[in-house]
Amino acid sequence: MKSGLFGDYDPVGEVFRLRKIPCRIIGVLAEKGQGGFGTDQDDVVLVPIRMLQRRIAGDTDVSTIQTSVRDGVSTAKVKRDIEYLMRERRHIADGDEDDFHVLDMTELTNTLSATTTVLTGLLGAVAAVGLLVGGIGIMNIMLVSVTERTREIGIRLAIGALKRQVLTQFLIEAVVLSLFGGVLGILLGLSLAAVAAGYLTIPFVVSPSVLAGAFLFSAAVGVIFGFFPARRAANLDPIEALRHE
């Protein structure tokens, strides 16, 4: 938020308006980056609670209290202690239900992790099916190419081309075809992600390692599904290939 309002200039001591209320900046928090829910943790302004209640909220209600736990301390124990303290302060009798809720972020994190694992598995299955279909398509295209170029392959073999040279040629063609589709997929994915990030007002972060992995995976698909057609081309009999019409 600092860079968005003041750029590289140190804002300490400056005054800005919060709902027509002039506020003087007394400090800047360290950058935290993107949060677990895709929100920007740096897009926040902290003000005194009395000022917030009196001049902005118009009441003395406190809807949320966040607490932190020292390293090594059980969050479950802290949660029980907070619940006991809140029941005591609110004079809740034994047997009555709580009129508050204490949320342990560890439980939430475990729930999100389990959900993420399931979604990752489903997306992985869909991606695997898509890669299989795309790989079969590449293999069919290369088989058609080998069939249509049988005489060309026979001439190359007849004038001294080695089998590994023919194999390499068709493998390269399959890899180029797969990489072309991979690049188009990466560009389409980035475009859709940018549109979704703008619509949901969440940060759009591009990971070079993920892009490199997708690029290399596309090449691997070309090698795997292009090997059979390339091997078939390399093992053609030159005499039979020259007779092909």
DSSP 180-221: HHHHHHHHHHHHHHHHHHHHHT------HHHHHHHHHHHHHH
Supply φ then ψ for residue 116, to 5 degrees: -60, -40
Q: What pLDDT shows up at residue 128?
A: 86
pLDDT grade for 11, boundaries at 50, 70 and 90: confident
pLDDT grade for 71, boundaries at 50, 70 and 90: confident
Reduced to 3 states (helix: H, G, I; strand: E, B; else coil), residue 33 is: coil
Q: What is the pLDDT of residues 89-126, one digit of tens each?
A: 888 888 888 888 888 877 777 888 888 889 989 988 99
Q: Which residues pair with 151 in a beta bridge?
A: none
Supply φ then ψ for residue 4, to 5 degrees: -70, -30
Please name the residue that has the structure tokens 């078939």.
232
Residue 242 pLDDT > 70: yes
Tell me the angle at which helices 105-148 and 75-89 cross, rounded to the nearest 10 degrees.
Answer: 130
Name 24's Cβ contacts closer than 8 Å, sequence gap at least 6: 13, 14, 15
Enumerate the domain spans of the chain.
Answer: 2-63, 70-103, 106-243
- In the DSSP assignment, the letter for residue 43 is S
pLDDT grade for 39, boundaries at 50, 70 and 90: low
Is this structure's pTM higher than 0.75? no
Q: What is the pLDDT of residues 172-190, one digit of tens each?
A: 989 998 888 888 988 998 8
